[in-house]
Amino acid sequence: MRSLSAYRTSCARRCSRSTIYTGRWPTFKEHFSSGATAMWTTLEPVQLDGSVLEGGGQILRNAMSYAAIFRRPLKIEKIRANRRPPGLKAQHAAGLVLLSQISQGSHLQSAVMNSQNITFHPGINTPGHYTADPRTAGSTTLLLQISLPCLLCLPPNSHSTLTLKGGTNAAQAPQVDYTQRVLLPFLNHHFGLEVQLDIKRRGYWPKGGGELYVSVPSIQGKLPAITLKDCGNVVSISGIAYVAGKLPQHLVNELCASALRCVQADNLLRGVSNTSIQILKDSDSLGSGMGIVLVATTDTGCVIAGTALGVKGKAPKEVGEEAANELARNLREGGCVDEYMQDQMIIFLALAEGRSTVRTGPLTLHTRTAIWVAEQMTSAKFTIEEEVTDKGVATNLIHCDGIGWSYTRPAEAHTEQTGT
C-alpha cells in the first residue's frame, strides 16, 4: 500500500484537473480500494453563477446548504442578478451569517447588504441553538430554507434549535402556515423528519417583528428515496385565514367566506365535505397583515396548497378567490406536490439514497434552478419525463438519483481536505 504522502500527492494532481465533486469526501481507505479512480474535489471554491435561470436568492440558499453539508468551499457571483435591485437583501445576509455560525470556524466573505458575490469556506457543522435576525420583515421561512438541510445533516442523535426573526407571512416566500402545513408534513411523511415549528409571534411587512422557534433533530442514517406518482382525490380542505394589527375582524370573515365560496363552486372540489378553515384575529403583532393558506389533502396522502396575501387596495374577496384558484389550478395540474414544494423538495431528493420519482405539474423556473444547483454541488442526477396521466393530464415525472448522504466525522473529512 502506498503512503499517506503519496495519497496526498495523487489527490493534488487529480484536484488540479477536475472540479467534479462526488458529494462526499472519500476516505483514505476507499481511495485505495477503488484503485484511486474516484473523482476528486479541488480545494478551490466551486464557482457558481447566481444569475442562472431564476437568478434569485434560492440559488444562494441551496448552494450554501450543500457547501456547508459537504464542507465544500463556494464562491457565488452575480447574486440575485435577476432581481431589482440585485445583490443581498437583509434576509439573505442574515441567512448567510446564520449558516456560517452553524458551520463553526467557517470563513464568510462579503455577506453584506447589496453584495453581489460571496465566498464561503465552511468549518465544522455543530449542533446548538442559533438565532437569525435580519431586523426587517425579511422572511423567517427563507432563513429556515438555508439552515434546515445543514442542521438535519448533523451527527446522528443530535438536536438543534433556531430562533428566526423577521416576517412570518411575507410576499414571494412561503408563508409560515405553508411551511407548517405543507413543507414540514411532507418531510415528516416521506422522510420521517420530525422538525417542530412554533410561531411565537407573527410579523408582517414592513415592520417584521415575527419570531419562530424551530426544533431540528438530525437525520438518522440516510434519507430514503421517495416515489409519489398518484395524486389521488381530495378528501379534505383545511387552512388558516388571518387578519392582524389594526385591521378589523370582518375582513378575515369576508376573505374566508369568499375562499370557501370559490372552492365550493369548483367542479373538482365541490364534493369535498370535510372543510375547516381556522380564522385568526392576531392582535399580538407589531404591524398589520391579512392572508390565507388553503391546504387540500388527498386519499394518497398528497398535500397541495393555494395561498394569497392581502395587499393595500386588494379586497378580501379577491384574496380569498386568489388562494382558492391557486389551489384548484395546482390540483388540476395533476402533480403530487404543488408549484412551491416542487423546488423546495429538490435538495432532499438529492441527498436521499437511490432513485426518487415525483409527479409534478409544469416545472417552475425555481425547480429547474434548484436542479441545476443540486447538479453543480453534488453527483445527484435528475431527469424529467413527460407523462400523460390516466385522467388525461400532461404532467412531469422528476426522477432523481440521490447521493445517499450519510454522516462522516469531520476530523476524517478535514484530514482528507487538508491532506491535499
Ligand X SMILES: Nc1ncnc2c1ncn2[C@@H]1O[C@H](COP(=O)(O)OP(=O)(O)OP(=O)(O)O)[C@@H](O)[C@H]1O
Residue nearest to ligand X (CB): 57
By the rule CB under 6 A, 178 interacts with ligand X: yes
What is the three-class DSSP state of 31?
Answer: helix
Stretch that binds ligand X, among 19-27, 146-154, 170-178, 328-336 (CB under 6 A): 170-178
DSSP state for residue 415 in the 8-state scheme: H
Tell me which of 211, 254, 321, 343 binds ligand X, using CB under 6 A: 343
For the CB of residue 303, give the shortest distance to ligand X in the complex, in Å. 12
Q: All 3 cell numbers of residue 271?
A: 364534493
Q: What are phi and psi of 318, to 5 degrees?
A: -65, -35
Stretch that binds ligand X, among 122-130, 160-168, 172-180, 223-231 (CB under 6 A): 172-180
For the CB of residue 417, give the shortest distance to ligand X in the complex, in Å. 30
By the rule CB under 6 A, 57 interacts with ligand X: yes
Tell me which of 366, 368, 372, 410 binds ligand X, using CB under 6 A: 366
CA–CA dist 327, 308 (Å, integer): 10
**Cα–Cα distance list, 248 to 124, 243, 251, 288, 320 (Å):** 49, 7, 6, 10, 16
Tell me which of 53, 132, 152, 173 binds ligand X, using CB under 6 A: 173
Tell me which of 42, 50, 54, 111 binds ligand X, using CB under 6 A: 54
- Contact map string, positions 281 to 310, toward ligand X, x by CB under 6 A: --------------------------x---
- Contact map string, positions 67 to 106, toward ligand X, x by CB under 6 A: -------------x--x-----------------------
Q: What is the dihedral of CA 248, 203, 342, 125, to 10 degrees?
A: -160
By the rule CB under 6 A, 50 interacts with ligand X: no
Nearer to ligand X, 11 or 79 (CB): 79
For the segment 104-163, give every residue that binds ligand X (CB under 6 A): 142
For the CB of residue 311, give the shortest distance to ligand X in the complex, in Å. 13
DSSP state for residue 73 in the 8-state scheme: -
108 Cβ contact partners less than 8 Å away, ≥ 6 residues apart: 96, 97, 100, 118, 119, 120, 121
203 alpha carbon, distance to own chain's centre: 20
CA–CA dist 375, 382 (Å, integer): 8
| Size, binding site for ligand X by CB under 6 A | 16
For the CB of residue 340, give the shortest distance to ligand X in the complex, in Å. 3
Q: Is 129 considered catalytic here?
A: no
CA–CA dist 87, 46 (Å, integer): 19
188 C-beta neighbours (distance < 10 Å), count? 13
What is the three-class DSSP state of 151?
Answer: helix
By the rule CB under 6 A, 169 interacts with ligand X: no
For the CB of residue 161, give the shortest distance to ligand X in the complex, in Å. 23
What is the three-class DSSP state of 38?
Answer: coil
CA atoms lying within 13 Å on the CB side of residue 148: 25
Please report, in angstroms and rounded to a whole number, the separation of the first and last CA atoms in the chain: 18
By the rule CB under 6 A, 322 interacts with ligand X: no
CA–CA dist 92, 81 (Å, integer): 14
Nearer to ligand X, 11 or 94 (CB): 94
CA–CA dist 285, 164 (Å, integer): 15
- Contact map string, positions 196 to 235, toward ligand X, x by CB under 6 A: ----------------------------------------
By the rule CB under 6 A, 174 interacts with ligand X: yes
Contacting positions for ligand X (CB under 6 A): 54, 56-58, 80, 83, 142, 172-174, 178, 307, 340, 343-344, 366
Catalytic residues, by residue number, are 366
